[in-house]
Structures are given as C-alpha cells and as structure tokens.
Amino acid sequence: MKKITLPEHSKLLDKSFLFGVATSSFQIEGARDSRLKSIWDTFCETPGKIIDKSNGLVACEHIERWLEDIDLIQSLGVDTYRFSISWPRVMHEDGSLNHEGLGFYIQLLDTLNARGIKPFVTLYHWDLPQFIEDNGGWLNRETAYLFQDYVDKVSLFFGDRVHSYATFNEPFCSAYLGYEIGVHAPGKTGVKSGRQAAHHILLAHGLAMQVLQKNSPSSLNGIVLNFTPCYPADDSESSLKAADYANQYINHWYIKPLLHGEYPAMLAELPDDQKPDIEANDLQIMAQPLDFLGVNFYTRLTYSAPTVTDFSDPEKSPFYTEHAHLHPQTDIGWEIYPQALTDLLTKILSDYNLPPIYITENGAAMADELVDGAVHDNSRIDYYQSHLLAVHEAAEQGVQIDGYFAWSLMDNFEWAEGYLKRFGLVYVDYQTQQRILKDSALAYQAFLLSRTHNDNHVNK
C-alpha cells in the first residue's frame, strides 16, 4: 500500500500541529429526530436539483451511529475532529433552544473531549432553517441578527467544551452557489442577490464573533473560507487582468472585508443596482480580530479576457471568462494542482496580516470500488501526499499553519451531486451503513500513528 510521508524536519510534525478529519451536519447526520426542516431539505424535494434525486433524511445515520463514528475517528489517530452544528436541530422556531438536539451535540463533545480529540465546531455549514428562508433567508438583514442570537445561546450552552468555533463554512458557496447561480439551496439567482447574501453572511460572522469573544474567549474563534486560486490561461496582459478580477470576485471578496475591512476594488466598477446594500459600520463589524483563518482548498481555475463588455447579461461576466477544468482531474471534475495550495498560502501571507491558518478541508472525490471488502484508492493517497507536501512547502516559506483536516472522514451527501461522489477516507455502504476503511484511511492512520513529534512548540 502507498504511504503518506513528510520530511523529518517538517513543521507539520511539530507537536502543536493538529491533524484531523472533517464532516458537516446535513451531509452525515440524517433527520430522524426533532430537527426542523432546513433549506437543503426543501432543495432536495425540488425536482431536478439533486442528480441522484436523494436527500439528507438518512445520510450516514450519524445521529444514531455517532459513538461508532467516534470510535472510527479515534482509531485513525487524529488530534481533532471538525464537524458542524445543525441550526435547525438546536433551535425551535420561537428562538428557544431545542434540548433534544443540543443533547446530541453535548454527548458528542463530551465523548470527544474524554478521548482527547479536540472539537472544532462550525456553526453554519449551509443548513439554514427553512422558516428563516421563508422570511428572505440571507437576503434579509435580520437573518444576521438571528444568527448572532443562535450563536449566543448555543455557545453559552456548550460552555468550555469547544476547542474552536468557526462561524461559517465557505460563505462563497452559500452566497454564490445558493443565491447567485442557484445550484445550491435555496436555489435563488441574480448577481445582486448573491452579493447581498454574501454581505449579510459576513455581517453575521462579525456579529457572531463579538458574541464568541464574550461567551467563549478561550476557544479559537474564526471562520472557514474556501479558496479557488485563479490563474491566467496564458501570458497575455488580458488574461492576467481577467485572473486578477476573478481572484477579487471569488477569493478576496470574502477575505478582504474580514482582514482589511473593505471589499476589493472591483466593487466600485459595478453598476449601482448590482452592488450589495451596505450600511454604515457593517465593514467594521465584519473585521473582528480572528484567532484563526480556516482555508478550504480543492482545486484552481484558469481565466482569460471576457467576451462581453457590459453588465446586461447576468450569465456573462464583463470581467473574465472562466475556463473548464484542466487535467488531471478528480471524479468530480476538479483539476488536481497542488502547487496552487502553496501559491495561495504564500500569496495571502504577502497580501494580509494573517492570523494562524488551519487547512480546514482538503481532499478528493475518487471513483472508489469496493472489492472483497477493500477500497484500493491509490489516487486519493497520491492527492493527500502531494497536498500535504504543498502545505509543508508553504510552512517552509513562512506561513504559520497550525493544522490540517482531511475532507472527509467518510463518504456522505455531496450536495447537488447526492451520494454519487465519494470524498471519504472511510467508505460508506449506504445499504447497510457499514463503514469500511479505504486504503487512504489506512495510509492516513499509519502516517498519524507514526509521528514522532518535533518539540518546537508546546502542545495546545
């Protein structure tokens, strides 16, 4: 079997560097309890939205199998587990706490802590309660304040059980995929709509950070952003310019308000009716100090000059043309290009005064086959090996990176792709709910258990 290895002197082998696995609520939990409906339940019920017509009602039955899953997590030898809280499971419609739902997470947190596995909690991984969407969802400014209230109540309830809170997972996906091009829940479209949703989510982040600083000052509090580095398709001036715009729109639109308290320069070039409504102080609220920044990385994209010059066609950007993914690709069609992860981390280090970084997601969907009880997913092992070396390289170049999470612990509901794309280290047989360690899980486990820590930092 292939191995995962790092150079002996690697900073990733310092005692303080955390390795983990990640999941999210809607993707694994199932819904056979008192949780409210979320926008993803509604989206799954809408014909044509999910490729295999599936939903999250059963998923990986994690609500029932959580203890078995913690055994699995522990067996991998990880330091930490990243998972998300389902807002519709822990809050009633009247704003009071749902104690059954909270009890589930308390068991999870207490068991993880008892076993020395640090809980990294994400407070929003896309499953907005449907009743809030019925009131406008992230297009309604009020949702930012409802989020703050939810975070306030839940973080007080959890006390000191949580090692780290991330307010949001990938605001780009919620805003752009969900409210601009409509391929994710709630399936709304429109350029202004996407930007307005993004603005309210970033505002909600800032409001929630204020609450976390008060309620949970000793946890690491931050946010998780996804980055898709944008490269010019060729050396021409016009492609360079296009890639710069794409980087502003896809990446800096989210990190710049958080770290510099302003949107990228291209905002000023938009027609007024395509700009988000921004109130005084919003950007100040967004730019709360961060204990960490979570970076999710999977792939890169390439760009050349736009084919239109005006703003009349919302389907076509007057800033750039995005190209199809190059090869080699994973099973979901994303280019495998690990150098982009090193480039990204060193670039954001030069652009911003960064807090410590955690790679909060990285991994690959592969066309796994279960044969005689085993999954020989060598290509996934190669993906992890090359990307861990890319993280190592960025650390060598001065980026402070404190942890790495493989996406995902196990195969799960991959949003609009349903259950067709498998990102797990662990194979899930959806008929029997049996979990089977793929070769990549065994390689990750062997790597984690073989670590003899460099003592450069004290353990957190």
Neighbouring C-beta atoms of residue 373, cutoff 10 Å:
8
Active site residue 45: no
**Least distance (Å) from ligand IFM to the CB of residue 293?**
15
Total number of residues that touch ligand IFM (CB under 6 A): 8
**Least distance (Å) from ligand IFM to the CB of residue 116?**
26
Residue whose pair of structure tokens reads 């021409």 in the numeric block: 236
| 414 vs 439 by CB, closer to ligand IFM | 414
| 161 vs 421 by CB, closer to ligand IFM | 421
Residue 408, preceding peptide bond in cis (omega within 30° of 0): yes
Strand 434-437 relative to strand 426-429: parallel, antiparallel, unpaired?
A: antiparallel
CB 41 within 8 A of CB 130: yes
Query: Cα(342)–Cα(392) distance, rounded to whole angstroms?
Result: 8
Q: Give the number of residues written for the chain.
A: 460
CB 421 within 8 A of CB 36: no
Query: Cα(8)–Cα(2) distance, rounded to whole angstroms?
Result: 18
* Interior angle at CA 397, CA 387 and CA 288, nearest 5: 85
CB 253 within 8 A of CB 198: yes
Given 133, 180, 322, 361, the catalytic residue: 361
**Least distance (Å) from ligand IFM to the CB of residue 357?**
16
Sole binder of ligand IFM in the list 24, 80, 196, 362 (CB under 6 A): 24
Q: Residues 137 to 196: which contact ligand IFM by CB under 6 A?
A: 170
407 counts as binding ligand IFM under rule CB under 6 A: yes
Sole binder of ligand IFM in the list 29, 127, 322, 361 (CB under 6 A): 361
**Least distance (Å) from ligand IFM to the CB of residue 407?**
6
Query: Cα(8)–Cα(155) distance, rounded to whole angstroms?
Result: 39
**Least distance (Å) from ligand IFM to the CB of residue 24?**
5
Cα 300 to the center of its chain, rounded Å: 16
Sole binder of ligand IFM in the list 55, 296, 304, 330 (CB under 6 A): 296
Active site residue 414: no
Question: Which among 40, 120, 14, 142 has a CA at the least distance from the CA of 459?
Answer: 14
Sole binder of ligand IFM in the list 382, 414, 419, 425 (CB under 6 A): 414
The runs of H, that is alpha helices, within 164-251 are 171-172, 191-215, 237-247
Q: Count of H helices and E strands in the chain? A: 15, 13
368 counts as binding ligand IFM under rule CB under 6 A: no
**Least distance (Å) from ligand IFM to the CB of residue 58?**
17
40 counts as binding ligand IFM under rule CB under 6 A: no
| 226 vs 248 by CB, closer to ligand IFM | 226
Given 29, 133, 170, 322, the catalytic residue: 170
> Could you list the residues that contact ligand IFM (CB under 6 A)?
24, 27, 170, 296, 361, 407, 414, 423
Q: Could you list the active site residues?
A: 170, 361
